[in-house]
């Protein structure tokens, strides 16, 4: 009996040990609850960038027409290069125009000689008239001849000026500094006033043309108190829109930011009904000729907004063109809130929310990719 009793006790003790051991392993493998970080939203004043696709164009594109016709004897440029204001582009054969100048100079000499003769005659007749030797008629006739000779000199001088001007036109010069295009005419070709010989794009200043959506236009109108004017949007009291809006930047195709800031020079007050956008222009100085006509770029407008809600970008779940954020409810569960007006901060770390969430809301700022609606996080 004693032996059987001892065996029974040993079995019971072994069973208890196994149960304790299993219980201990279960406690060790239990997964801890994920700790989510949150932020309570408070209104702030922030500056965010509004970015718009744009195309650049030179300030002016000037078609150069010859002022005289003739044969091209020199061509001093290559298409696609930069030319300076006043630089000689073409030389037209000046032979005919040099002869015209010589002829006009000779005519002027003859007219001046005739003028001198009539002057002497008139002065002589004045003395004779004082002595009563000649009549009033003779004196007046000599005076008319003298006046006519003066007019002839003036006319001859004008013809000489025209001839010299036409001779000067034989040298075709660039009206502005810019890029030149035009390979149609070369040495030996006949040119005339009827057709331009090249085009020079003035790129000392470059305009970036872009469009604002109706929403973006309304944002600028509200923030900067713009009003409709005769030439588009204006600032308060008729001030220029360029004086009211902040300076803008230009992001080039390679991702670099153009070194010179620009100004918004025009915002149309009319929204195109077909596209739902308003035409805009921003002007940039281009002293080094970095910008060219026809470049694709992005205009960046920094915009200050009051009472904006700021959250880390790690709090957002992207849903196509919208953003969703998880708001924490009083019972510790979360609900997804879709926000349409969300803008990125300049350094790319924050999102500025303009709709969907309210001051005082608490949102989850990490691990949002694993959350689902109604999930309890605390």
Give the model confidence (pLDDT) of 175-207 as tens digits.
Answer: 988 889 887 899 999 999 999 999 998 888 899
Angle at alpha carbon of residue 325, lines to 322 and 326, rounded to 5°: 150
Question: Edge-to-edge strand order for the sheet containing 70-75?
Answer: 171-173, 88-92, 70-75, 190-191
10 pLDDT above the threshold of 70: no
Contact 110, 148 (CB under 8 A): no
Tell me: pLDDT of 154 over 80.
Answer: yes
Q: Please write the tens of the pLDDT for every residue from 298-308.
A: 999 987 777 78
Span 95-169: which CATH code?
1.10.287.470
Q: Is the pLDDT of residue 19 over 50?
A: no
CATH number belonging to the domain at 38-46+306-370, selected among 3.20.20.70, 3.40.50.300, 2.40.420.20, 3.30.930.10: 2.40.420.20
Contact between 149 and 114 under an 8 Å Cβ cutoff? The reply is: yes
Instruction: Give alpha helix (H) positions in the chain.
Output: 2-28, 95-130, 136-169, 214-224, 241-244
* 326 in Cβ contact with 363 (< 8 Å): yes
User: Would you say residue 105 has pLDDT above 60?
Assistant: yes
Q: Answer for the pair 250, 297: CB distance below 8 angstroms, yes or no.
A: yes
CATH 2.40.30.170 placement within the chain: 50-58+206-304
Which part of the chain is CATH 1.10.287.470? Answer: 95-169
Q: How confident is the model at residue 282 (pLDDT cuts 50, 70, 90)?
A: very high
Residue 47 is predicted with a pLDDT of 78
- For the chain, give the number of residues: 378
Mean pLDDT, range 340-347, rounded to an integer = 81
pLDDT in tens, 245-273: 889 999 999 999 999 999 999 999 899 98
Per-range mean pLDDT, top range of 42-51, 85-94, 317-326, 353-362? 85-94
Contacts of residue 359, defined as CB under 8 A and 6 or more positions apart, other chains included, come to 41, 42, 43, 307, 309
Residue ranges of the chain that CATH labels 2.40.420.20: 38-46+306-370
- Domain 50-58+206-304, CATH number (from 3.30.200.20, 2.20.130.10, 2.40.30.170, 3.40.50.261): 2.40.30.170
How many CA atoms lie less than 13 Å away from 365 in the CB half-sphere?
A: 14
Q: Is the pLDDT of residue 17 over 80?
A: no
Contact 174/125 with Cβ under 8 angstroms?
A: no
More confident residue, 48 or 217: 217
Cα–Cα distance measured from residue 69 to residue 92, given in angstroms and rounded to the nearest whole number: 8
- pLDDT band for 215, please (50, 70, 90 cuts): confident
In CATH, the number for domain 67-92+173-195 is: 2.40.50.100
Q: Tell me the three state secondary structure of residue 197.
A: coil
- Asked whether residue 22 carries a pLDDT value surpassing 80, the answer given is no
Over residues 363-374, the pLDDT tens digits come to 999 989 889 999
Is residue 277 a contact partner of residue 212, using CB atoms and an 8 Å limit?
A: yes
């Amino acid at each position: 009996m004693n032996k059987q009793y001892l065996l029974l006790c040993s079995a019971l003790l072994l069973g208890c040990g196994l149960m304790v051991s299993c219980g201990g392993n279960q406690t060790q493998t239990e997964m801890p609850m994920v700790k989510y970080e949150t932020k309570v939203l408070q209104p702030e004043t922030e500056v965010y960038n509004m970015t718009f696709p744009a195309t650049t164009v030179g300030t002016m594109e000037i078609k150069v027409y010859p002022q005289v016709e003739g044969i091209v004897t020199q061509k001093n440029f290559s298409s696609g290069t930069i030319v300076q204001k006043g630089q000689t582009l073409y030389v037209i054969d000046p032979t005919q125009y040099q002869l015209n100048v010589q002829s006009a100079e000779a005519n002027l000499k003859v007219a001046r000689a005739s003028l001198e003769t009539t002057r002497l005659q008139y002065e002589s007749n004045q003395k004779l008239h004082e002595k009563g030797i000649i009549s009033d008629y003779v004196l007046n006739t000599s005076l008319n001849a003298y006046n006519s000779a003066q007019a002839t000199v003036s006319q001859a001088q004008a013809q000489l000026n025209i001839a010299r001007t036409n001779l000067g036109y034989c040298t075709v010069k660039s009206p502005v500094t810019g890029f030149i295009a035009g390979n149609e005419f070369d040495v030996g070709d006949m040119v005339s006033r009827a057709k331009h010989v090249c085009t020079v794009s003035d790129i000392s200043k470059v305009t970036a043309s872009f469009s604002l959506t109706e929403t973006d236009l309304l944002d600028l109108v509200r923030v900067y108190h713009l009003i409709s004017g005769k030439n588009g949007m204006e600032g308060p009291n008729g001030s220029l829109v360029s004086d009211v809006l902040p300076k803008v930047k230009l992001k080039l195709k390679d991702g670099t930011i153009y070194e010179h800031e620009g100004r918004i020079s025009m915002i149309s007050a009319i929204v195109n009904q077909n596209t739902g956008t308003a035409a805009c222009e921003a002007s940039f100085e281009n002293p080094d000729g970095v910008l060219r006509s026809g470049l694709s770029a992005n205009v960046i407008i920094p915009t200050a907004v009051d009472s904006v809600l700021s959250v880390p970008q790690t709090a957002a779940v992207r849903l196509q063109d919208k953003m969703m954020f998880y708001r924490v409810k009083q019972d510790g569960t979360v609900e997804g809130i879709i926000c349409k007006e969300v803008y990125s901060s300049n350094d790319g770390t924050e999102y500025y929310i303009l709709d969907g969430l309210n001051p005082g809301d608490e949102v989850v700022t990490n691990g949002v990719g694993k959350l689902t609606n109604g999930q309890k996080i605390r």
